[in-house]
Amino acid sequence: MARVPYMKREDLSPEGQAAWDYIVKSRGQMLRPYELLMASPWLGARVADVGLSVRKDSTLPDAARETIILTVARELQNAFEYTYHEDIARKNGVRESVIESIRTRKQKGMIPQESVFVDYARQVIGNRVNDATFQAVEHLVGQRGAVEATLLASFYALMCLTMNALRLELPANVPSKLPAP
């Protein structure tokens, strides 16, 4: 059970409803994690802004972006992000062998241009990025892309850690795809 209630628009103050409307306008819908963050409406809206920006304003290739997100969700044991992003990863060109490698934490069947993003995401959230990995990412996506990859991994770490702390649950009709630790 979640530690804070999933908010509904009608449960919020006028200021909270304005923050809700702001998120819905920018994203087209209210996503489940933000229903929890509406306990602090404008902070939740700012977090939503950052999330939208790291995904939509980024120059990272779609497959690299989703590889990073899926890796962070797997490493931080977040069922919500992992479950939803596994399908999104497939739709954005992440090969099944890469998804399987992330799921099992065994780097088999990946080419270096794929595994570098798995390694990088793990190192970012582990608080130690080595020079060789950073340089490999920078070689593939440039300096801007390397910074964006860092921000993306960091943002999803924020979301995963927040959801884990607040015990966000998957909807009852959505089975978790996250393997046991």
Query: Is 172 a member of any domain?
Result: no
Query: Is 98 a member of any domain?
Result: yes
Per residue in 36-58, pLDDT (tens digit) is 999 999 999 999 999 999 989 99
Question: Which pLDDT value is given to residue 139?
Answer: 98
Range of the domain at 71: 62-166
d(CA 31, CA 147): 26
Number of domains in the chain: 2
23 and 76 belong to one structural domain: no
Query: Is 16 a member of any domain?
Result: yes
Question: Which pLDDT value is given to residue 180?
Answer: 83
113 and 79 belong to one structural domain: yes
d(CA 110, CA 101): 8
71 and 38 belong to one structural domain: no
48 and 68 belong to one structural domain: no
Query: Is 99 a member of any domain?
Result: yes
Which of 64-68, 107-111, 159-163 shows the lowest mean pLDDT across its residues? Answer: 107-111
For the stretch 143-179, what's the b/e string if a residue is b when 16 or more beta carbons lie within 10 angstroms of its beta carbon? eebbebbbbbbbbbbebbebbeeeebbbeeeeeebbe
CATH, residue 120: 1.20.1290.10
84 and 128 belong to one structural domain: yes
71 and 99 belong to one structural domain: yes
Question: Which pLDDT value is given to residue 104?
Answer: 95
142 and 71 belong to one structural domain: yes
17 and 90 belong to one structural domain: no
Per residue in 115-170, pLDDT (tens digit) is 999 999 999 999 999 999 999 999 999 999 999 999 999 999 999 999 999 999 99
48 and 66 belong to one structural domain: no
Q: Are 31 and 5 in contact (CB under 8 A)?
A: no
50 and 120 belong to one structural domain: no
d(CA 53, CA 59): 11
22 and 104 belong to one structural domain: no
23 and 104 belong to one structural domain: no
DSSP strands (E only) in 73-135? none
Question: Which pLDDT value is given to residue 78?
Answer: 98
Residue 181 reports pLDDT greater than 90: no
Question: Which pLDDT value is given to residue 34?
Answer: 97
- What's the whole-model pTM score? 0.95
